[in-house]
Amino acid sequence: MIEFDLSDRQRQLHDALTNLGHSIIRPQTLAWDRAHAVPDEFYRNFMRMAAAFGGAKESARFLGGEDPEDAAAQPARDPKKQSQANRTAAIASEVFGWADASILLGLPGPGLGGPPVRSSGTSEQKKRFFGIFNDMLDSELQWGAYGLTEPGAGSDVAAIRTSCVKDGGAWILNGRKCFITNGGRAAWTVIFATVDPSLGRAGQRAFVVEKGTPGFSVGKLEEKMGLRASETAELVLEDCRVPGENLLGGEEAYRTKEGFLTAMKTFDTTRPLVAAMACGIGRAAFEYAQQFVRDHYVLSRPVPRYALIADKLARIGRRLEAARLLVYRATYLADLGEPNAREASMAKAYAGQAATAACIEAVEICGAHGSLAEDHSLLDKWFRDIKVFDIFEGTGNIQRVVISKRIVAGLKSF
Ligand SMILES: Cc1cc2nc3c(=O)[nH]c(=O)nc-3n(C[C@H](O)[C@H](O)[C@H](O)COP(=O)(O)OP(=O)(O)OC[C@H]3O[C@@H](n4cnc5c(N)ncnc54)[C@H](O)[C@@H]3O)c2cc1C
């Protein structure tokens, strides 16, 4: 049975992150946005806080480091023994979105590279690639990344052209990846390549390519409209020789279409979290607009304009609440280990639209104040940040395609 109340632990996490947002993040978020970076010092302090909050193991797990036993564990199918890891991550993601979404995207840990290694890596690969995140408090900060998108292949992931050719016990990779979150600083990146583009999905392979591998380099770092404190990089592979043991899941895994499925499995767990972040940005704009209305309007006065503003507030609140419920549904299924592609896409598509509308309408409600530039108003930042939530992890259009395909497939069974 889906549970709407937060557990005591989730409530504590929610409150601790909200306090952090109020006291540390919000006062610095515009400066970090201008500097195009969140300082490492913030992340170190955050990790200390996380360790104090949850103990070393829980904090390591939150940051993506895992011991092999945990990493090998499958989600429970028995609802009574159900983990709430995805739900808890969604609760945290919403608060990060509310405070500053760039922080979560830049959080040290495997990031988007984590899900494919977790779902398809061998035990040895999980141990090797997750192991580097376990001791970050006492050593260098580390990141992982996920390299799927190419200049000619974004939504159409089956069209990737980065090639991989077997050479003895190794593979030679050639190609370019673009818009890779944390790509410039990642210790390793899951790179998707193809043995033969004409085979489509069946020809795809996923490799963990480590920083420093000859032939693997960072191209330009993108200047973005929003989420500017999050690093987005181009990656270049030129005759890059990757050891055979870095082929994710080993050769056996590719007797079927596993390479492509690895990419898709990632989205089923990450799309609801991206949707949760969008809810957080929408909530931030909503709260800002409510405060503005509190300070500037008396909505009980019978002025038609005020009735319209009250209606706008009601609409923003209603949509954001519906988006959050879709997130909870998608993470509930993920925690059960049940298929959730349709629900994950519904949450992502709807939350992106609801939060974008919240940001636009909040600007409208605030009138001229809403048009102030970045140094004066967080609204400007949220307005810029939210756009990406309808683009990455699959655009809104692609989510709608996924949903409609599944609905139409259901019709065929009648
Ligand atoms: C900030 C940021 C971070 C990112 N991080 C990563 C990352 O870490 N790793 C990674 O691999 N990628 C990453 N991406 C890339 C992102 O996933 C792609 O930008 C996204 O998949 C869209 O691809 P595209 O930009 O090539 O647009 P296109 O696929 O060219 O789409 C252009 C337009 O056409 C529409 N469209 C395309 N196909 C269809 C269709 N079949 N039906 C209807 N409409 C369609 C789209 O909805 C869109 O409106 C990131 C992007 C950004 C902006």
Amino acid type, 407: I
How many Cβ atoms are within 10 Å of 51's Cβ, its own excluded?
17
In whole angstroms, what is the distance from residue 357 CA to residue 335 CA? 29
Instruction: Over range 383-392, report the average pLDDT.
Output: 95
- Structure confidence by residue, pLDDT tens digits, 75-134: 445 555 567 889 999 999 999 999 999 999 999 999 999 989 998 899 999 999 999 998
- Look at residue 66 and tell me whether its pLDDT is greater than 50: no
φ/ψ of 204, rounded to 5, equals -85, 145
Integer-rounded Cα radius of gyration of the chain: 22
Nearest to 37 by CA among 97, 124, 100: 100
Q: What number does the ligand 1 atom closest to the CA of 147 have?
A: 11
pLDDT attached to residue 413? 66
pLDDT surpasses 70 at 364: yes
Q: What is the DSSP letter of 101?
A: H
Of 262, 395, 401, the residue with max ligand 1 atoms within 8 A of its CB, to mutate for a pocket test, comes to 395
Averaged pLDDT score across all residues of the chain: 89
- Inter-residue contact 334 to 269 (CB < 8 Å): yes
Average pLDDT over residues 283-293: 95
pLDDT band at 257 (very low <50, low <70, confident <90, very high): low
- Cα-based distances in Å from 208 to 46, 105, 345: 27, 20, 26
| pLDDT of amino acid 154 | 94
Please indicate whether residue 50 or residue 101 has the higher confidence score (pLDDT).
101
Distance 229 CA to ligand 1 centre (A): 20
Which one, of 288, 354, 295, 280, lies nearest residue 319 by Cα? 354
Which phi and psi (to 5°) does residue 29 adopt? Answer: -60, -35
**Distance of CA 391 from the midpoint of ligand 1 (Å):** 5
pLDDT at 178: 98
The residue-averaged pLDDT of 367-386 equals 83
Amino acid at 260: F
Confidence of residue 258 (pLDDT cuts 50, 70, 90): low
Give the architecture-level CATH label for domain 260-412: Up-down Bundle (1.20)
Alpha carbon 125 to its chain centroid, in Å, reads: 22
| Confidence class for position 60, pLDDT limits 50, 70, 90 | very low
Number of neighbouring beta carbons within 10 Å of residue 318: 11
Please determine, for residue 288, whether its predicted confidence score (pLDDT) is greater than 70. Answer: yes
DSSP alpha helix (H) spans, 154-301: 258-296
Locus of tokens 């963990």: 208
Distance in Å, CA 398 to ligand 1 centroid: 9
Report the amino acid identity of residue 296: H
| Position with higher pLDDT, 297 vs 154 | 154
Give the model's pLDDT for residue 133: 92
Calculate mean pLDDT across residues 325-348.
95
Q: Which residues pair with 181 in a beta bridge?
A: 232
pLDDT in tens, 193-225: 999 999 988 899 999 999 999 999 999 999 999
In sequence order, what are the beta bridge partners of 193? Answer: 205
How does DSSP assign 108-157, residue by residue? Answer: SB-GGGHHHHHHH--HHHHHHHHHTTTTGGGS---BEEEE--BTTBSS-G
Which pLDDT band, with edges at 50, 70 and 90, does 268 fall under?
confident
Measure the CA angle with vertex 133, ends 132 and 138; round to 5°. 95
| The pLDDT of residue 68 is above 70 | no
Chain-centroid distance of CA 178 in Å reads 16
Rounded mean pLDDT of 214-240?
97
Of 362, 381, 324, nearest in space to 102 by CA: 381
Reported as a single tens digit per residue, the pLDDT across 128-154 is: 999 999 888 888 999 999 999 999 999
Q: What is the pLDDT of residue 123?
A: 95
Smallest CA-to-CA distance from 268 within 183, 332, 225 is with 332
Length of the chain: 414
* 266 has pLDDT over 90: no
Four-residue CA torsion sign, 258, 260, 262, 265: negative
Please give the pLDDT value at position 184: 97
CATH of domain 142-258: 2.40.110.10
CA 407 vs CA 266, 354, 400: distances in Å: 22, 22, 10
Which residues contact ligand 1 via a Cβ below 6 A? Answer: 112, 146-149, 154-155, 179-181, 224, 227, 232, 388, 391-392, 394-395, 397-398, 401
Write down the pLDDT at residue 56. Answer: 47
Architecture of domain 8-130: Orthogonal Bundle (1.10)
Mutation test residue for ligand 1: of 185, 392, 405, the one with most atoms within 8 Å of CB: 392
Q: Which residue from 273, 266, 231, 277 is spatially nearest to 106, judged by alpha carbons?
A: 231
Q: Is the dihedral of CA 95, 100, 105, 109 positive or negative?
A: negative
Q: What is the pLDDT of residue 97?
A: 97
- Cα separation, 389 vs 377, in Å, equals 20
* Residue 217 CA to ligand 1 centre (angstroms): 22
Query: Does the global pTM surpass 0.85?
Result: yes
Each residue's pLDDT tens digit, 20-39: 999 999 999 999 999 999 99
DSSP-derived 3-state class of residue 373:
coil
Domain locations in the chain as residue ranges: 8-130, 142-258, 260-412
Known active-site residue 393: yes
pLDDT, position 350: 98
